Amino acid sequence: YAQLFTFCRFAMYFSVIFVRIIRLKIKKRMETITSLYDFFTECGQVTTDSRNCPEGSMFIALKGGNFNGNAFAEQALQKGCRYAVVDEPEYAQKDDPRILLVEDCLKALQELANYYRRQLGTRIIGITGTNGKTTTKELIATVLGRKYNVLYTQGNLNNHIGVPLTLLRLKPEHEIAVVEMGASHPGEIHMLTHIVEPDYGIITNVGKAHLEGFGSFEGVIRTKGELYDYLRSRKNSSVFIQNENPYLNQIAEGLNCIRYGQTEGLYVSGHVLKCSPFLAFAWIGEKGLHEVQTHLIGTYNLDNVLAAAAIGRFFGVEEEEISLALSSYIPQNNRSQLEETPNNHLIVDAYNANPTSMMAALENFRHVEAAHKMVILGDMKELGSSSKEEHAKIVDFLDTCNFEKVILVGPEFGCIQTSYEKYPDVDTLIDHLKSDCPIGFYILVKGSNSMKLSRLPEFL
Ligand code: ATP
Ligand code: MG
């Protein structure tokens, strides 16, 4: 009996293990991109956030520094997702046909987006550049929206996750898509263009940003140029290029270039009429001169509006319609926004700062007509070993501007020898403003997002 008992016990153990292996084998079937595409077409939309699960959508379990989306797959299904895509077998063992297993969820998201984009064949304009991507993207979409059904990147969703999610929002009725692509390391634009496969491209500009990641300014140019490299390999592609930008011209060889800028006789040329502080400009296409008053702050927006005009003209939007679209566009992106407080007029540009956009903002601000002008600048982040030099250049430039008051915030500016008022962080500045708030000034507030200067308006 003892032997029989032992035998039965072992037999039971083995059968449990055997069943487990079989179940594992069954569930381990990896989805291919075409099968995933079939599931996606049933759903019509994708979510990667288990807190936001539209009924019938497909949940894709991404991983971040602090979370593992796989652990939320069940929850996403309970909340209404039709399928959940996971990449860890232990979350796919249950005998649930709604759970789909792939090798790597991020890769699956990107490949699915690319596959879907190919099936639809929508014309896509890819946009990258150091500054002005979001603004230009929205201007382009506004202009093209006068004639076409346009899909464009929401907000700033321009990275390896945001770009595929944008593509997966495409519907057959979209005629054109404008997709923003951002980068802070070499190779990123190459990777994104191979997901997007744009038919047209625009690099708004190349400037000094994310130097830590790119290694050098040449690194920035090379990375942005990956968009041109891709388009060079495509038939019938075109790029829209700012004519006076020497760096872009250097790398645009062999491409069909549609030119815009300030030189006369271009496909679209234009110039600033006034900027106090909203930009008014004139542009010439095929049908003579148009004068447009915009809601955009800063002369640097001239390039952005001319780019949108050139793209509008290229796609056959009437010139009057282009002007109407550009004058009606009101920026919603929290960049260069004019705010009136009871005490002061503020230009708040506290989301993003790098040497190029800082110089552009200062250059613009020095031409704003006002009796009392003040600037509050926060550190520019991610500049690596060039940081000290770039902050010193900004201080040198400030010396030539004659602003009535200058306040510098952050440790990077803190290292620069200067007599301007300095604060180590925004909290210390806020303490100071509570007892000594300026009154009657036009104030430019600009710095990297992490400097949190967006908290200042309340105290100004
Ligand atoms: P991000 O890298 O954060 O996505 P972005 O390239 O999308 O930025 P925008 O959000 O359009 O750029 O603008 C950010 C800031 O860059 C603006 O507030 C302004 O200070 C500056 N900027 C915008 N357009 C230009 C331009 N053509 N040249 C230089 N600076 C610009
Ligand atoms: Mg952007």
**223 in contact with ligand 1, CB cutoff 6 A:** no
- What is the per-residue pLDDT for 16? 63
- Name, in order, each residue with C-beta under 8 angstroms of 168's C-beta and a sequence gap of 6 or more: 40, 45, 46, 109, 112, 113, 116
Output the six-digit token pair for 301: 């927006």
Q: Whose CA is nearest to atom 17 of ligand 1?
A: 335
Q: What is the pLDDT of residues 269-312, one digit of tens each?
A: 999 999 878 999 999 999 999 999 999 988 999 999 999 999 99
**122 in contact with ligand 1, CB cutoff 6 A:** no
> Are the C-beta atoms of 224 and 129 separated by less than 8 Å?
yes
The CA 133 to ligand 2 mean position distance, Å, reads 5
The CA 197 to ligand 1 mean position distance, Å, reads 24
- Identify the helix (H) or strand (E) that includes residue 268: strand 268-275
**d(C-alpha 420, C-alpha 436), whole Å:** 16
Q: What is the mean pLDDT of residues 256-260?
A: 97
Whether pLDDT at 371 is above 60? yes
Burial class for 324, CB neighbours closer than 10 Å (0-12, 13-18, 19+):
middle
- What is the per-residue pLDDT for 19? 55
Helix (H, G, I), strand (E, B) or coil at 66: coil
Helix (H, G, I), strand (E, B) or coil at 214: helix
- What is the per-residue pLDDT for 26? 53
Q: Whose CA is nearest to atom 21 of ligand 1?
A: 357
CA proximity to 271, closest of 258, 263, 285, 281: 281
Tell me the pLDDT band of 25, cut-offs 50, 70 and 90.
Answer: low
pTM over 0.90: no
- What is the per-residue pLDDT for 403? 96
What is the residue-wise DSSP string for 437-450? ---S-EEEEE--GG
Please report where in the chains the tokens 């990297």 appear, as a residue. Answer: 448
- Name, in order, each residue with C-beta under 8 angstroms of 413's C-beta and a sequence gap of 6 or more: 377, 378, 379, 391, 394, 395, 422
Whether pLDDT at 23 is above 70? no
φ and ψ at residue 258, rounded to 5 degrees: -100, 120
Question: Regarding beta strands 421-423 and 99-101, do their DSSP bridges make them parallel or antiparallel, or are they unpaired?
Answer: unpaired
- What is the per-residue pLDDT for 142? 98
For residue 277, is the peptide bond before it cis, meaning its omega torsion is within 30 degrees of 0? yes
Q: What is the pLDDT of residues 111-130, one digit of tens each?
A: 999 999 999 989 999 999 99
Output the six-digit token pair for 223: 């990375």
Q: What is the mean pLDDT of residues 351-377?
A: 91
**d(C-alpha 362, C-alpha 311), whole Å:** 29
**333 in contact with ligand 1, CB cutoff 6 A:** yes
**357 in contact with ligand 1, CB cutoff 6 A:** yes
Whether pLDDT at 396 is above 80? yes
- What is the per-residue pLDDT for 11? 80
Angle (CA) 191-196-197 rounded to 5° is 95
Mean pLDDT score of the chain: 92
The CA 360 to ligand 1 mean position distance, Å, reads 10
Lowest mean pLDDT among 106-115, 218-227, 384-393: 218-227
- How large is the ipTM? 0.98
The CA 136 to ligand 1 mean position distance, Å, reads 9
**337 in contact with ligand 1, CB cutoff 6 A:** no
The bound ligand whose nearest atom lies closest to the alpha carbon of 138 is 1
What's the distance, Cα to Cα, between the start and end of the chain in Å? 89
Tell me the pLDDT band of 214, cut-offs 50, 70 and 90.
Answer: confident
- What is the per-residue pLDDT for 56? 96
Q: Whose CA is nearest to atom 16 of ligand 1?
A: 131
Q: Which atom of ligand 1 lies closest to the CA of 136?
A: 11
Residue whose CB lies within 8 A of the most ligand 1 atoms, among 244, 348, 357, 453, for a mutation test = 357
Residue whose CB lies within 8 A of the most ligand 1 atoms, among 352, 363, 368, 444, for a mutation test = 352
Q: Which atom of ligand 1 lies closest to the CA of 209?
A: 2
Q: What is the pLDDT of residues 27-66, one digit of tens each?
A: 558 899 999 999 999 999 999 999 999 999 999 999 988 8
**354 in contact with ligand 1, CB cutoff 6 A:** no
CA proximity to 406, closest of 441, 382, 435: 441
Q: What percentage of residues in the chain have a pLDDT greater than 90?
A: 77
